[in-house]
Structure 1
Amino acid sequence: MDMYQNILVVIDPTTDEQKALKRVIDLASRINTAAPDQQISITAFFSIFDFSYEMTTILSSGERDTMRQMVIKEKQKWLDDIISVSNSPIAITSKVVWHNRPFEAIINQVIEHKYDLVVKGTHQHDKFKSVVFTPTDWHILRKCPCPVLLVKEHEWPQQGNILAAVNVGSDEAEHLSLNEAITKQAKNIAKLITANVHLVNSFPGTPVNIAIEIPEFDASEYNSAMQAHHKEAMSKHANSFDIPLGNTYVEEGLPEAVIEQAALKIDAELVILGTIGRTGISAALIGNTAEHVIDQLDCDVLALKPEGYISPLDVQ
């Protein structure tokens, strides 16, 4: 099974409950069971920065460096304690770095050590508010070259549901390869956690200006034709992956609304979607759309990049 082997889990120093770490241990244990010969490496990581150490003129640069190393060492001990009580059957390495931009610290690690998955928890506020994403989350989603799993509170029970958000209406190579990658990941993870795979695809309704500018334009005929095109493309895609047509959803509307409705309908444990960090035609969802989708979901989200994506932080 083509699965994750080198995983970076981002630790949250502001909380005792490390849900991302729990999820990684669970996922890695399942991969280990499914493929015992596969070596899995987990690194627990976070970056720290204290501006006061940078600003003080009392200390020389050497002394500042010593102070930084002391802070890192102290945090490293805290992290090692968290790892030791996690009872992970798989060895976990700890790493703390000094960096003033957490997202850059994470992505630098990915580029340097070729991680194939980043796992990070999200902040849950009180029940009247949605999950609050930090700028770090958005930067990672947009700029991280490997898949990113954002962990929420939802459990992963057996015979649960995974929702893969695809864009089957396009013939563009980038879309087709991303659809394939998203669906393959869904099938692989479904095998690991004994879940069912569902596919969702949204398509836009009639552009309002066309209906105004061309009075004879038949909006309902246009919508029917669009729906038929997407349903046929979805059927072809689902068949090629042996996914039952009863597990597919093709709806008119904005991706964020359509994906959220489908996820709620099946009580999805995990939604897998494609994001792209640059402007231009999307490989599934661009910036804000991806953020709207993820904000509204109550389950874990796995975000993938198109094949060949190069992070803007990778200057090599």
Structure 2
Amino acid sequence: MKSINKILVVMDSSSDHQAALVQAINIAKKTSASIELFLVAYNSEFVSHWNFNQAQLAALQKEYIASKLRWLETYLPEVKLYDIDVSMAVVWHADVSCAVLAQVASNGVSLVVKSTKQNSIINKIFFTPCDWQLLEHCPVPLLLTKNISDYSYRRVMAAVDPERSHNKTEKLDAEIIQAGLVMAELFDGETLICHCYQPIGVELWQGMSSVGMDHSLMNGDFHEYSDAIKHHHQVAFNELLSDYAFDEKSTHLIAGSAEFELPELVKTQQVDLLVMGMANNGKFIGNTVEKILDNVGCDILSIKG
């Protein structure tokens, strides 16, 4: 993660509490970054209506945007209280994600912060279609934060995949680790590193001989195979971390599907922020991102590969 100089905060006019703004202020105070309050405004009634001509509709749109700017202005004192450079922007657009991506491309943004929906009963994040679009296409780090009272990242986990893949850049894992270290340092937290890999299950192993698989492989012992696979991933994991000073308790090599293992690891390790990489194909460490993130109960920092 490069230095954080400008934070784009995606504001939510449907809520009085702006979780994204609170967290952006926390980060800006520690990095001296500027903040842009960004709101996407749209009302289909002001696009076409039998009772108004085009000039009247344009005037209604202009006044609607002005009212949203006045709403944004109510949050300026909260930011200026900490001597943070702040600006505002309201754009008229029917698609929030497209508007955000256009703003990122034109304004030199280094971090996007957006709130997500949180169900306090089942501790589950509900991502919106806009969230998914931003996760897949946002070219700068994207922080999706929950609507909670404690915004400190005491434990930051970077999820990596040392296995080489044509769907991700070779430097993506290093960028994920670096982002995790940066966020942990900002919040005086601890950085954890994890890698989930999925070996062949015993049932598939037993059935391989019936479909013409390599008999030399079948002559081996399943436990020997499991040990060999673990060793292979351990070597790759160790090689990736060789330039860092992580102790053994901070690293987690987990056998199993990331879809199931990663949310459980986040829970057991009491992780506050998960740093993940998004490959160009919209997938994360071999699984669709939806399957993983729907069950991860913490904030997400996505790094685009």
Is TM more than 0.5 here? yes
Q: Does 1:54 align with 2:47?
A: yes
Residues 65-214 of structure 1 mapped to structure 2, 5 A cutoff? 65-86=58-79, 87-128=81-122, 130-152=124-146, 153=148, 155-157=150-152, 160-170=154-164, 174-206=168-200, 209=204, 211-214=206-209
Provide the rounded CA distance (Å) in 2 between the counterparts of 1:117 and 1:219: 46
Provide the rounded CA distance (Å) in 1 between the counterparts of 2:15 and 2:42: 17
Provide the rounded CA distance (Å) in 1 between the counterparts of 2:2 and 2:132: 27
Provide the rounded CA distance (Å) in 1 between the counterparts of 2:239 and 2:54: 63
CA apart distance, 1:278 = 2.5
Q: Please name the residue that 1:259 is paired with.
A: 262
Q: Please name the residue that 1:305 is paired with.
A: 304
Q: CA RMSD for the aligned pairs? A: 2.3
CA apart distance, 1:291 = 2.3
Deviates more, 1:1-10 or 1:15-24: 1-10
CA apart distance, 1:125 = 3.2
Provide the rounded CA distance (Å) in 1 between the counterparts of 2:181 and 2:224: 35
CA apart distance, 1:233 = 1.7
Provide the rounded CA distance (Å) in 1 between the counterparts of 2:290 and 2:82: 32
Q: Does 1:25 align with 2:19?
A: no
Q: Please name the residue that 2:34 is paired with.
A: 41
Contact 1:234 1:248 in 2 (8 A): no
Which consecutive aligned stretches of 4+ in structure 1 deviate over 6 angstroms post-superposition?
none
Q: Please name the residue that 1:313 is paired with.
A: none
Provide the rounded CA distance (Å) in 2 between the counterparts of 1:271 and 1:141: 14
Provide the rounded CA distance (Å) in 1 between the counterparts of 2:262 and 2:181: 18
Contact 1:2 1:188 in 2 (8 A): no
Provide the rounded CA distance (Å) in 2 between the counterparts of 1:92 and 1:291: 33
Q: Please name the residue that 1:270 is paired with.
A: 273
- Name the SS of the counterpart of 1:124 in structure 2: strand
Q: Please name the residue that 2:229 is paired with.
A: 226
Q: Please name the residue that 2:9 is paired with.
A: 9
CA apart distance, 1:2 = 4.1
Instruction: Report which of the two structures shows the higher radius of gyration computed on alpha carbons.
Output: 2
Q: Please name the residue that 1:36 is paired with.
A: none
Q: Does 1:245 align with 2:244?
A: no
Provide the rounded CA distance (Å) in 2 between the counterparts of 1:73 and 1:185: 37
Provide the rounded CA distance (Å) in 1 between the counterparts of 2:123 and 2:264: 19
Contact 1:148 1:304 in 2 (8 A): yes
- Name the SS of the counterpart of 1:119 in structure 2: strand
CA apart distance, 1:166 = 0.2
Q: Which letter does structure 2 place at the counterpart of 1:202?
A: C
CA apart distance, 1:91 = 2.2
Unaligned runs of 5+ in 1: 33-39, 307-316
Q: Sort the Cα spacing of 1:277 and 1:70 in 2 relative to 1 into closer, same or farther, 3 A.
A: farther
Task: Give identity over the alignment, percent.
Answer: 24
